[in-house]
Each structure stands twice: as C-alpha cells, then as structure tokens.
Amino acid sequence: MAKESILFSAILALRWVDFVVFLYAKGVRGIRVEVKFSGYIAASLGYREKVIELEPSSTVRDLLALLELPVNKSWVAVSIGGKLRDRTTILKDGDQVLVLPLGGGG
C-alpha cells in the first residue's frame, strides 16, 4: 500500500512539473503590451512607442507606475483598442495602449 502511495505521489509531482513547463512555454509568466505616446509626452521622452512586459493581471495603473512620464500621471488619459479606459482596467497580452496628455491652456 505504501509503495502505491509513493508511486501515486511521484506521478502527481511529474504532472505538476509538466504543467509548469507548459505554462512557461506558453508565456504565462508575463504579458507584453505595446505602449504608444503622443503629443509633448512623446517629444519629451524622445520616442513614440515602447514594448513593456508586465505580470499577468496587471492594470493600467500598474503600467503607468512603470513608465517614467515627464508629466504627472493624473494628467494623462489611456486608450486601449481605441477606447478610453480607467486605471483599473486589466491589460491583456498584445494590447495596444495609447498614452495621451490631457489639458490645454489658453
């Protein structure tokens, strides 16, 4: 009986390792989003786009925290797929994110 239990545990452990390897191969360890900048943000950064790697289930807020924007982050709007999104939106692998400066003056 003990040998069967040990064998069963070994099989479960091997299946777990296979599962982890499968997830790693599928890129589950992180997501990549393409971030585009416009207006004076792009001019200040010196580039218009950048690919960022994030943890799965990362939000727009998490993304903004990683970016070194030349403006206060409360003064930007974020568009994903052509629609304005709030800071709690969860990002998906392959999302195209546009960071837009808010405001104007006169």
The tokens of 60 are what?
């727009």
Task: Write down all domains in the chain, each with its CATH number in brackets.
Answer: 31-101 (3.10.20.30)
46-101: per-residue pLDDT in tens? Answer: 999 999 999 999 999 999 999 989 888 889 999 999 999 999 999 999 999 999 99
Q: How far apart are CA 2 and CA 9, in angstroms?
A: 11
Read off the pTM. 0.69
Residue 19, H or E segment:
helix 2-25
- DSSP per position, 20-73: HHHHHHTTTT-EEEEEEE-HHHHHHHT-SEEEEEE-TT-BHHHHHHHS--SS-G
